[in-house]
Amino acid sequence: MSTLTALQEILIKDYAIPRERLMPDALLSSLGVDSLGMLELMFKIEDRFDLKIPGDPPTGLATVADVVAYVDSLITAGPGRHGPS
Amino acid sequence: MIGRRIAVTGMGVVTPLGNSLAELSANLGAGKSAVRRLAPSLAARLRSPIGAPVDFDATPRFDPPRLRMLDRVSQLALEATGQAVSHSGIDFRAEDLERCGVFVGSGMGGATTTDEGYQALYAEGSDRIKPYTVLAAMTSAAASWIGIDHGITGPNITFSTACSSSAVAIGEAALRIAAGAADVMIAGGAEAPLTFGVLRAWEAMRTLAAENLADPSASCRPFSLNRSGLVLGEGAAFTILEDWNHALARGATIHAELSGYGLTCDAVHITRPTVMGQAGAMRAALRSAGLDPNSIGYINAHGTATVQNDATETEAIKTVFGDDAYRVPISSTKSMHGHLLGAAGALEFIITVLSLREHLVPPTLHLDVADPACDLDYVAAGPRRVAPFRAAMSNSFAFGGTNAVLIAEGRQT
């Protein structure tokens, strides 16, 4: 499963955002995910992707695609970690 | 009350006895108890595994992004205030919103959120506490959300005086209106204490009732010799209070007049109540209403079913009412809806208004064994139809000693 699909599933299941609004260029703030919601989303990403996010996420994460790219960079960097299953 | 008259124009409830005025009224009139054995996950580690929960599903009521910021106490508060606002028919868009306010009573605020945070930190050894924890747990959150919901920009205050919190919130809101500082107030209280941490803490104080194994719903026995303590309940109850002329001018239905409010503090002991403090609050309420005890046709007692409270309250009523103490019907509806702590005073004030309006006195259930220290008329045989009466009193006392008494009078022009 791609990172995008896995992230979309989290946002559909836990944030009740309709799938059709979860385009890669969709702004998270317009989907109801504010700055604290973003921090909460990082917990869910850590669990879903078996990652450890060091400190706070970068402030520039605005769109769904931004988060996907960030998660992918963590997956690539993390030795011994595996991607979404 | 000195100053402008106060109209009660709206009421809303989410309670163990139902999530509407109609349901609440029907269950009180039927003398039904909502006390029950709690879910196995909670009950397993409790010596007193009983409570009075509310049947309310927040999921369809709130958008997911908002719901994640709302502790159960705020969810219940928003639902009850929504009902109260529609019941009153008020349109806040037509009001001077700086002359409207929100006064909320809550003892413990977002207790579920606090409990979950500690669970993550201490029990699970995780550092992942939810980013919304502070916003959801702060005691003032419910009041803030109510203000946001209706765009109310006047005074927004949370009162926390333990079990009298929401009676204080209603009384203080009335004073604001009486003094001319506000025209419309949303006033009431909310509490959601049915979490393991809170239940266990109350249990540790030895204040909770023992479970009646044969019939858990009969565990709370106010004024009965075999009473063994209180039963915790959850819920929210809110009123819309309005300057009398403001209510008349917009053609509102006035359900009662809030004519008396008395407030004292025992200032003696953190838990032990005093006759003097309770009697002082009742006297102050009568004085502010300009009423004699013989005008009171019903007292909704604080009646927690603890040994101390019920005997002290009985003595205090006798001190204030004299021979009239034996005439006036008194009941503790906590026998049915449990003790809603910070929301108790508001719920019981609303029950008092319903009783005044419907001439129906709700009973004290499970008063099976007479206590010589509690020898008044507690309406133990069941709900009682009575002749129309002028005024009714609602008592709210508290750990910490803040005693608040409210008086409602029937609609007069």
pLDDT digits (tens, 9 = 90+) for B334-359: 999 999 999 999 999 999 999 999 99
Confidence bin at B127 (pLDDT 50/70/90): confident
**Is A51 within the bounds of a domain?**
yes
Give A-chain residues touching B64 at CB under 8 angstroms: 14-17, 32
Does any CB of chain A come closer than 8 Å to the CB of residue B128? yes
Catalytic residue among B87, B100, B150, B163: B163
Does any CB of chain A come closer than 8 Å to the CB of residue B130? yes
* Residue of chain B with shortest Cα separation from A56: B131
- Name the phi and psi angles at B365, rounded to 5: -80, 160
Given a cut of 70, whether residue B107 has pLDDT beyond it is: yes
Give B-chain residues touching A17 at CB under 8 angstroms: 64
pLDDT of residue A67: 95
With a threshold of 0.85, tell me whether the complex ipTM lies above it: no
Domains of chain B: 6-249 (3.40.47.10), 261-409 (3.40.47.10)
pLDDT digits (tens, 9 = 90+) for A55-78: 888 888 999 999 999 999 999 887
Of B4, B352, B341, B348, the C-alpha closest to B185 is B4
Confidence bin at A85 (pLDDT 50/70/90): very low
Give B-chain residues touching A39 at CB under 8 angstroms: 131
Given a cut of 70, whether residue B31 has pLDDT beyond it is: yes
Q: Which residues pair with B296 in a beta bridge?
A: B391
Confidence bin at B294 (pLDDT 50/70/90): very high
- Better-predicted residue by pLDDT, B303 or A59: B303
Closest Cα of chain B to A37: distance in Å?
7
Give A-chain residues touching B63 at CB under 8 angstroms: 16, 32
pLDDT of residue B378: 98
Q: Is the pTM of this model over 0.80?
A: yes
Does any CB of chain A come closer than 8 Å to the CB of residue B68? yes
pLDDT digits (tens, 9 = 90+) for A29-59: 999 898 888 998 999 999 999 998 888 888 8
Distance, CA of B284 to CA of B279 (rounded, Å): 9
**Residue A22 lies in domain:** 3-77
Averaged pLDDT score across all residues of chain B: 97
Q: Which residues of A touch B (CB under 8 A)?
A: 14-17, 32-34, 36-37, 39-40, 43
Distance, CA of B11 to CA of B15 (rounded, Å): 13
Does any CB of chain A come closer than 8 Å to the CB of residue B61? no
**Is A19 within the bounds of a domain?**
yes
Confidence bin at A79 (pLDDT 50/70/90): low
**Is A46 within the bounds of a domain?**
yes
Given a cut of 70, whether residue A84 has pLDDT beyond it is: no
* Residue of chain A with shortest Cα separation from B134: A36
Confidence bin at B234 (pLDDT 50/70/90): very high
**Is A82 within the bounds of a domain?**
no
**What secondary structure letter does DSSP report for A21?**
G
Give A-chain residues touching B135 at CB under 8 angstroms: 36
Clarify whether B246 is annotated catalytic: no
Put simply, the answer to whether A36 touches B64 (Cβ < 8 Å) is: no
Given a cut of 70, whether residue B302 has pLDDT beyond it is: yes
Weakest mean pLDDT among A40-54, B11-25, B185-199, B397-411:
A40-54
- Establish, for the pair of chains A and B, how many residue pairs have beta carbons separated by less than 8 Å: 23
Q: Which of B63, B130, B131 sits opposite A32 (nearest CB)?
A: B63
- Cβ atoms of residues B157 and B103 within 8 Å: yes
Clarify whether B220 is annotated catalytic: no
Q: Which of B64, B130, B135 sits opposite A16 (nearest CB)?
A: B64
Give A-chain residues touching B68 at CB under 8 angstroms: 37, 40
**Is A85 within the bounds of a domain?**
no
Put simply, the answer to whether A40 touches B65 (Cβ < 8 Å) is: no
Catalytic residue among B150, B302, B337, B366: B302
- Cβ atoms of residues B44 and B32 within 8 Å: no
**Is A27 within the bounds of a domain?**
yes
**Is A53 within the bounds of a domain?**
yes
Average pLDDT score over residue span B311-319: 98
Rg of chain B (C-alpha set): 20
**Exposure of B277 in the CB half-sphere (CA atoms within 13 A):** 22
Clarify whether B100 is annotated catalytic: no
Of A48, A50, A45, the C-alpha closest to A66 is A45
Number of domains into which chain A is organized: 1
pLDDT digits (tens, 9 = 90+) for B252-266: 999 999 999 999 999
* Residue of chain B with shortest Cα separation from A14: B64
**Is A15 within the bounds of a domain?**
yes
Find the CATH number of the domain harbouring A48. 1.10.1200.10
Location of structure tokens 């200032």: B267
Given a cut of 50, whether residue B384 has pLDDT beyond it is: yes
Distance, CA of B361 to CA of B350 (rounded, Å): 13
Catalytic residue among B255, B339, B366, B374: B339
Q: Chain B 346-375, CB below 8 Å of chain A: which residues?
A: none
